[in-house]
Amino acid sequence: MSKKIETINPATGKIIASYNNISVEEINSRVKSARNAFEKWKNVDISERTVFIRNLGRIMRKNKDEYAALITEEMGKPIRQSLAEIEKCAWVCDYYADHAESFLRDELIPTEFRKSFVSFEPLGIVAGIMPWNFPFWQVMRYAIPAITAGNVGILKHSSVCLGCALKIEDAFKQASFPDNIFQSIIGDYTAGEALIQSDIDAISVTGSVNTGRRVAELASKDLKKFVLELGGSDPFVILEDADLNQTAYMATQSRLLNNGQSCIAAKRFIVVKDIVEKFTKLFVENIEAEVTGDPMNPKTTVGPLVRESQRQILARQVDDAKSKGGHILTGGNAINREGYFYEPTLVSNVSHQMQIVKEEVFGPAGPIIVVNNEEEAIIEANNSEFGLGASIWTNNIERGIRLARRIQSGIVSVNEMVKSDPRLPFGGIKHSGIGRELSEFGIREFVNTKSIVVKDITSKLLVE
């Protein structure tokens, strides 16, 4: 492992802080302390555990401004979106504080036996390998249900947002959780690999497809449970009967949320040809109305990409489209200013030979794909290695539901952009992942679903 990790403000390119990379010995020590904490925490009644969870939600709201400013400083999200992220973290705390007890209550199963039931029991230490793009929310999304269920957590956060990792750990302390129920370790990818191979019981990962493959490879050696939430190339399907003004606005918000750096952002805009000209005009107008600039300014709606390397990847994808006949409708260039900014970009006349269509685009750029009818739209929507989210835009609700059932993804929204929601299961299929987070389904991912069967004892008098 390298000795130092630096965090950088993507709006300025300047170093924020420097951190020591954790050693394997220290990782194992942290895991041992987590194991000791788990042996006590698993026996705490869930009604008591939810008191701590609710306290954590209060801490999130109390420190909202501080946490949001740190998110924006470390990864460049516009400050208004960072504030919304912290509010969502408080919401997930409230949600599980309200519902976890019913989610994990024993379930009676009618059988011929005296009693048969299913018990949901914690697994132990659940490691989180988390990304930079929603640095508080994605941690809380995994940690809150896991810890409420009686597990303990160890986080290996992205090297981009180590300040956020430490603040989250501190928030658990402020909420008066017992020691070592939640810990953050500071390190690069080698620390994450060492954590997976240590004495933990399960792993939750949000990241790239390659990260998911590597985690699955390491975890499978000891048959450790894992949940993977990976990439997406979400289709945004616009049918001829959609409200185009509203749809163009929502297309803009979905593509540019988080500076275009979201797994569930709309990334392929599939438009029926009868309306493509009108929709495209409205889409371009909406894109050009967005405000790119200092992410700390409340008026800014699009900030920088997280790193120069990410900006170069996006530029490569856009330039590839240009070279293969794509038409740049707006944007198409890096912005010549301090930081890692790129113009919000739309590309038409695209094909499946272009990287901007084939690959996940993690930045403020998107292709417009023209189809003849709804049947072609569904075929195009499913023509991807990913299957995380999708949206359909139509004034016919029954039509939208019918087509939603045909799309291959974990989430489909009709007349709404795709969002994660504590009340609904979140996750994908195909290369977008394995397993689910959030809702009742998410809290049951990291438990032992145990069947218990009780039979009456009968005695017989033996007569010789």
First to last CA, the chain: 77
Spatial distance between the Cα atoms of 208 and 75, rounded to a whole number of angstroms: 17
| Residue of 107, 6, 92, 103 lying closest to 54 (CA atoms) | 92
Backbone angles phi, psi at 174, to 5 degrees: -60, -30
Using the predicted structure, report yes or no on whether residue 385 has a pLDDT greater than 80: yes
123, 116 contact by CB (below 8 A): no
Output the CA–CA distances (angstroms, integers) from residue 244 to 254, 288, 377, 393, 395, in the order listed: 15, 17, 17, 9, 10
CATH class, domain 4-230+432-452, is alpha beta
Per DSSP, what are the bridge partners of residue 389? 411
Domain residue ranges of the chain, discontinuous segments joined by +: 4-230+432-452, 234-414
CA distances from 164 to 30, 184, 216, 302, 394 (A): 19, 10, 26, 21, 40
How many CB atoms neighbour CB 422 within 10 A? 22
What contacts 131, CB < 8 A, 6 or more positions away?
138, 158, 206, 207
Helix (H) or strand (E) holding 155: strand 152-156
447's torsion region: left (phi>0), alpha (psi -120 to 50) or beta? Answer: beta
Return d(Cα 169, Cα 178) in angstroms, integer: 12
Check residue 380 and give its pLDDT: 98
- What does the chain come to in residues? 464
User: Residue 192 is encoded by which pair of tokens?
Assistant: 């994450």
Beta strands in 23-69 (DSSP E): none
User: Contact 455/161 with Cβ under 8 angstroms?
Assistant: no
3-class DSSP state of 173? helix
| pLDDT value for 103 | 98
User: Domain 234-414 belongs to what topology?
Assistant: Aldehyde Dehydrogenase; Chain A, domain 2 (3.40.309)
DSSP-derived pairing of the beta strands 152-156 and 433-434? unpaired
Q: How far apart are CA 384 and CA 232, in angstroms?
A: 9
Catalytic-labelled residue, pool 73, 93, 263, 380:
263
Topology alike, domains 4-230+432-452 and 234-414: no
Find tokens 């685009």 and name the residue. 361
Q: With the C-alpha atoms ordered 27, 29, 33, 35, is the resulting torsion angle positive or negative?
A: positive
What pLDDT, on a 0 to 100 scale, did the predictor assign at position 461?
Answer: 45
Which amino acid does the sequence have at 305?
A: L
Q: How does pLDDT run across 234-276, given as a tens digit for each residue?
A: 999 999 999 999 999 999 999 999 999 999 999 999 999 999 9
pTM summary value: 0.96
> pLDDT band at residue 462, thresholds of 50, 70 and 90?
very low
What is residue 2's predicted lDDT score, i.e. its pLDDT? 52
Residue 251 · residue 281 · CB < 8 Å? no
Task: Give 81-133 pLDDT, tens digit per residue.
Answer: 999 999 999 999 999 999 999 999 999 999 999 999 999 999 999 999 999 99
Q: Is 149 within 8 Å of 438 (Cβ atoms)? A: no
- Pairing mode of beta strands 107-108, 115-122: antiparallel
User: Quick check: is 89 catalytic?
Assistant: no
DSSP class of 292: B
pLDDT tens per residue across span 207-240:
999 999 999 999 999 999 999 999 999 999 999 9
144-198 pLDDT, tens per residue?
999 999 999 999 999 999 999 999 999 999 999 999 999 999 999 999 999 999 9
- The span from the CA of 348 to the CA of 132, in Å, is 30
Q: What angle do CA 139, 145, 148 make, to 5 degrees?
A: 120
Residue 263 falls in the annotated catalytic set: yes
Q: How far apart are CA 162 and CA 144, in angstroms?
A: 19
pLDDT at 459 over 80: no
Selected catalytic residue, list 74, 229, 343, 380 = 229
Per-residue pLDDT tens digits for 44-76 = 999 999 999 999 999 999 999 999 999 999 999
CB 348 within 8 A of CB 327: yes
Segments of 280-439 assigned E as strands: 327-330, 345-348, 365-371, 386-387, 389-393, 411-414, 429-430, 433-434
Tell me the Cα Rg of the chain: 24
